[in-house]
Amino acid sequence: FRGRMALDLRLSQVRTGVAWEEVSIMDEKNIPIRTYQVCNVMEPSQSNWLRTDWIPRSGAQRIYVEIKFTLRDCNSLPGVTGTCKETFNLYYYESNNDREHYIRESNFLKIDTVAADESFTQVDIGDRIMKLNTEVRNVKVTTRKGFYLAFQDVGACIALISVRVFYKTCPLSIRNLATFPDTNTGADTSSLVEVRGSCVNQSEEREEPKMYCGADGEWLVPIGGCVCNPGYEEKGGACQALLTSADISKCCTETQPKTPNKPPSAPQQLISEVNETSVVLEWSAPLRLGGRTDIRYKAGSLGDVLFSPQQSGLGATRVCVSELQAHTRYTFTIGARNGVSQGHTARARESVSVTLTTNQAAPSPVTSIQASDVTRHDVSLAWQQPDRANGVILEYEVKYYEKNQKERSYRIMKTASRSADITGLNPLTVYVFHVRARTAAGYGEFSAPFEFSTNSDPLPLIGNAANSTLLLLSISGGVVLLLISTTVFIISHRRGQYSKAKQDLEEEKHLNPGVRIYVDPFTYEDPDQAVHEFAKEIDASNIHIEKVIGIGEFGEVCSGCLRLQGKREIYVAIKSLKAGYTDKQRRDFLSEASIMGQFDHPNIIRLEGVVTRCKPVMIITEYMENGSLNTFLRKHDGQFTVIQLVGMLRGIVSGMKYLSDMSYVHRDLAARNILVNSNLVCKVSDFGLSRVLEDESEAAYTTQIPIRWTAPEAIAYRKFTPASDTWSYGVVMWEVMSYGERPYWDMSNQDVIKAIDEGYRLPPPMDCPVCLHQLMLDCWQRDRIHRPSFTQILNILDKLIRNPTTTLRRTGGERPVPTLLEPVGGPEFVSVWSVEYWLQAIGMDMYRDTLTAAGYTSPDSLLTLTQQDMASIGIVTPSHQDQILASVQQVLLSHMQQIEEQMQDSMVPV
């Protein structure tokens, strides 16, 4: 099978007499299979090794190991507390020797600790049910001709069912009349292998043809190409001789060409890899290509599933299918087509199919833990149901321990509800809590740590609805921020009150900035005069520096506290100018404060003031708990919902609209220059001017431009305008949707410039809705007048977030699923929001008056609804709160989908 070295591994025991045993068992379909098993759970300190024979590397640089295994849940084994484990370790050892008899254990390098997504338990009737886990790990192997793999058991009850080892290649491909050979992917998960193509027959190089082979086996960024020689024309990726008049007359007399092109035969060797509720399908090219090279594949399945990179027109022999239901049977078909295939769908003889069952999936992590009624010994915790429960939640488990004890000793409490009263705590002690949910599929992951300190009072200090709850920001995927000291609590509480309505109000203030235009501080003769015009001088004694948090262009960035007379102490970021600066450096450094001080918007970093009268010179700004956006997203890869990501993008564009309304052009908009606070609010920062004014000579200037983020006209002839900021905004959208991936990966700046010039644009990041990618493409229009303005982008994102009040084309005439959009009349339904209809559809109409009276009359207003909000207006039953919140989510998602469908209909490829 192309792209894989599929191996049936023979496992051999490193030492005889150890715990692993070769055992034959029956699989779910009652077919006998051979397994390796170990189950030494009663004795402590186990270390039982099992290793494979030598595996040749065959030129691969990164290998993938897929392990299928079952693992027994320790809770189901009586009397094994403390000794029983639920993981094993995977190791490798590179070697040129294909027959090593003995390899010292310490020579093996660890790949990973492998845990089961599902462990199996003995059910009451004494009948064992076996649940299969599939885990894939990968590792770089570049130093020897081959390698050995080893499995170390540390006291678990495991059966290894199968081990598959493979590597990935980008398959032979023809682009721009150049052939690119079957190429092994690079050694690193982010590496791109640069490959030079060779011109097809009867063609010659127009510009050196190049492509990059990505780590996933996909070809990326074709550059250059070939052109057909005179007398030949391009057809289906090849150069064919132009017909002479003699040919034409001959052709006209013949009824059939001698060797007509045909549709391809079916793709071969379709294999599937199930990972919980997603599947990767891979296949090989058809045996017969029908005499053509323009083969494309189309994947098919019943039901609502998501294909990526796309469902049809696939050039590569691989597709990922996600959003499948847990534990459900699916049939997938892959059809092959070429330019002479008839109709829209592949016929049976042109397709191949596979049927499989998805795994059960454990629930996603619990989010939004809140603490209330904190006393010296007790606390009440409450949390929300996981975003994806993937089944009925049977119970929750709360694990907690004293922070300074780490996890050396912890306590576990189980509860069927979404709350728990924890008692018997020590006073004035910081505790760490984690909560996880369990369904029939097993436990989900624990939530991120939630910390708080008990106090010294016997009665709750914080316990009433108005100012009681330690509200932690809920991030789907379970990132919860830590709140420890009272000071932090106060700040966080203030920000916790952040609401959309309030933000709207604040934004409204800025809707009409009138004639206020940004003033370039360099127009002032005396730079200090500019600073003092726009920034407040702060006395250094009011600043208390706590720690260094980073390095900026001019010196350290610290965090600390600022206490101004008559005001509450606030947490701030402090940028300082390093010693030994020149006058020019001081001026450039302070120019940022002069610029920032002119802005006042919720999505622009706020200047608190400057220290210029003593050293070091400092700029004080509001503190952003989550630091810069690119680092933050990388840390939380895959943990946010699309709506949360779009929420961040909305904030950024709102700030950019404000800047462009003030005629300020940022010139360096990038995720690294956006800061994120604890409420996930994104703010534009970095208004340094040095990059603009540094050196006016063209060459020096170009080296300072952040090429990957900058519009072509700004690179080529320094045309910086709001439209060039729009281009950069498109790149920021891409960074956000790809969780901080580097734009254009590790391509060189020169290649980026060339690729952009040739019309190449960044592809949609994984799981990125089509409509958002379309918006990025709009921001990257070559002609800047065709790019959307920030006002337009803001409107589009708002439309995506809000429930539609505009016409949305639906695909059929069926009644809506209870996604709660009321259809009214006509074949082209107009979806109208009605709170009444929505509540009725989810059986919650008893809250109609309550919600309406509190101002929740539009889906927009519901966007920020939290459990606290509901509790405060009298919706107190947890199950009702859950139902309402889940439904709000559903409305938003269904809306995103509908917009996506609509955009797909009208999409024009670039």
Extract the annotated binding site for ATP. Answer: 549-557, 575
At 260, the amino acid letter reads P
Q: Between 65 and 605, name the residue whose CB sits nearer to ligand ACK.
A: 605
Q: Closest-CB residue for ligand ACK?
A: 550
**CA-to-CA distance for 797 and 801, rounded, in angstroms?**
6
Least Cβ distance, residue 626 to ligand ACK (angstroms)? 8
Q: Applying CB under 6 A, which of residues 158, 538, 624, 835 lies at the interface with ligand ACK?
A: 624
886: left (phi over 0), alpha (psi -120 to 50) or beta: alpha
- Among 303, 550, 638, 874, the residue binding ligand ACK under the rule CB under 6 A is 550
39 vs 158: CA distance, rounded Å: 6
In total, the chain counts a number of residues equal to: 910
**Spatial separation of the C-alpha atoms in residues 254 and 234, rounded to whole Å:** 23
Cα Rg, the chain, nearest whole Å: 31
The angle that helices 790-801 and 878-905 make with each other, rounded to 10 degrees, is 130
Which of 153, 668, 725, 751 is catalytic? The answer is 668
The least CB distance from residue 453 to ligand ACK, in Å, is: 24
Non-local CB neighbours of 842 within 8 Å, separated by 6+ positions:
818, 820, 883, 884, 887
Residues 408-437 close enough to bind ligand ACK by CB under 6 A: none
In this structure, the number of other CB atoms found within 10 A of the CB of residue 28 comes to 10
Residue 6 CB, nearest distance to ligand ACK (Å)? 43
CB of residue 646 to ligand ACK, shortest distance in Å: 22
Q: Which stretch of DSSP H or E encloses residue 623?
A: none
The amino acid present at 234, given as its one-letter code, is E
Is 611 in contact with 538 (CB distance < 8 Å)?
A: yes
Applying CB under 6 A, which part among 504-512, 560-568, 619-627, 747-755 lies near ligand ACK? 619-627
Interface pick for ligand ACK out of 170, 573, 595, 776 (rule CB under 6 A): 573
Q: Which residues pair with 203 in a beta bridge?
A: 228
Amino acid at 274: V
Under the binding rule (CB under 6 A), the answer on residue 552 touching ligand ACK is yes
How many CB atoms neighbour CB 547 within 10 A?
Answer: 8
- Least separation in angstroms between residue 699's CB and ligand ACK is 27
Of positions 356, 549, 662, 777, contacts ligand ACK by CB under 6 A: 549
CA distance 784 to 781: 6
CB nearer to ligand ACK: pick between 685 and 728: 685
Q: Which is nearer to ligand ACK, 386 or 552 (CB)?
A: 552
778 has catalytic annotation: no
Q: Compare residues 559 and 702 and give the one whose CB is closer to ligand ACK.
A: 559
* Three-class DSSP labels, 171-229: CCEEECCEEECCEECCCCCCCCEEEECEECCCEEEEEEEEEEECCCCCEEEEEEEEEEC
Quick note: the x/- pattern for ligand ACK over 626-665, rule CB under 6 A, is -xx--x----------------------------------
The contacts of residue 783 (CB under 8 Å, 6+ apart) are none
Q: Say whether residue 560 binds ligand ACK (CB under 6 A).
A: no
Per DSSP, 578 falls in state: P
Identify the helix (H) or strand (E) that includes residue 116: none
* 364 lines the binding site for ligand ACK (CB under 6 A): no
- Looking at the Cβ atoms of 69 and 687, the one nearer to ligand ACK is 687
* Span interacting with ligand ACK, options 299-307, 512-520, 621-629, 898-906, rule CB under 6 A: 621-629
Nearest residue (CB) to ligand ACK, 232 versus 498: 498
**The residue to which tokens 């409420």 are assigned:** 679
Which pair of structure tokens corresponds to residue 8?
């049936």
Instruction: Out of 88, 166, 330, 623, name the contact with ligand ACK by CB under 6 A.
Output: 623
Interface characters, 25-54, with ligand ACK (x: CB under 6 A):
------------------------------
d(CA 330, CA 731): 37
Which run of H or of E encompasses 759?
A: none
- Closest Cα partner for 156 from 44, 241, 266? 44
- Closest to ligand ACK by CB, 180 or 623: 623
Cβ–Cβ contacts within 10 Å for residue 24, how many?
A: 8
Query: Measured from the CB of residue 907, what is the shortest distance to ligand ACK in angstroms?
Result: 35
Look at residue 152 and give its three-state secondary structure: strand
Q: Which is nearer to ligand ACK, 183 or 628 (CB)?
A: 628
Look up residue 847 and give its DSSP letter.
Answer: G
Task: Choose among 857, 703, 729, 891: nearest CA to 796.
Answer: 729
Asked whether position 675 contacts ligand ACK by CB under 6 A, the answer is: yes
Closer to ligand ACK by Cβ: residue 422 or 674: 674
- Please calculate the CA angle 447-448-453 and round it to the nearest 5 degrees: 110
Q: How many residues bind ligand ACK (CB under 6 A)?
A: 14
602 binding ligand ACK? (CB under 6 A): no
CB of 749 to ligand ACK, least distance (A): 23
Q: How far is the CB of 485 from ligand ACK (least distance, A)?
A: 17
Count the helix, strand and coil residues of the chain and give each as a percent rounded to the nearest 5. Answer: 25, 30, 45
Q: What are phi and psi of 434, to 5 degrees?
A: -130, 145
CB of 627 vs ligand ACK, minimal distance in Å: 3
Beta bridge partners of 65: 137, 165
Structure letter (DSSP) for residue 537: B
Q: For residue 557, state whether it binds ligand ACK (rule: CB under 6 A).
A: yes
Alpha helix ranges (H) inside 636-765: 642-661, 690-693, 698-704, 712-717, 722-737, 749-757
**CA angle at 700 for the pair 698 and 701, rounded to the nearest 5°:** 60
Identify the residue among 169, 185, 202, 621 touching ligand ACK (CB under 6 A): 621
Q: At 717, phi and psi to the nearest 5?
A: -140, 35
Contact window for ligand ACK (CB under 6 A) among 35-43, 521-529, 548-556, 709-717:
548-556
Minimum distance from residue 488 beta carbon to ligand ACK (Å):
14
Q: Least distance in Å: CB of 462 to ligand ACK?
A: 27
Q: Is 163 in the site for ligand ACK (CB under 6 A)?
A: no
CB closer to ligand ACK out of 619 and 851: 619
Quick one: which segment of 265-273, 359-367, 530-538, 625-633 binds ligand ACK (CB under 6 A)? Answer: 625-633
Among 487-495, 534-542, 543-551, 712-720, the segment contacting ligand ACK (CB under 6 A)? 543-551
| Options 7-15, 155-163, 322-330, 547-555: segment touching ligand ACK (CB under 6 A) | 547-555
Compute the least distance from the CB of residue 386 to ligand ACK, in Å.
29
**Which residue lies nearer to ligand ACK by CB, 573 or 670?**
573
Which span sits near ligand ACK by CB under 6 A: 315-323, 610-618, 620-628, 775-783? 620-628
Q: Which is nearer to ligand ACK, 33 or 564 (CB)?
A: 564
Site string for ligand ACK, 706-745 (x = CB under 6 A): ----------------------------------------
Query: CB under 8 Å, gap of 24 or more: what pairs does 195-198 form?
Result: 195/170, 197/224, 197/225, 197/226
Q: In 10 A of CB 82, how many CB atoms?
A: 7
Positions that interact with ligand ACK (CB under 6 A): 549-552, 557, 573, 605, 621, 623-624, 627-628, 631, 675
Catalytic positions are 668
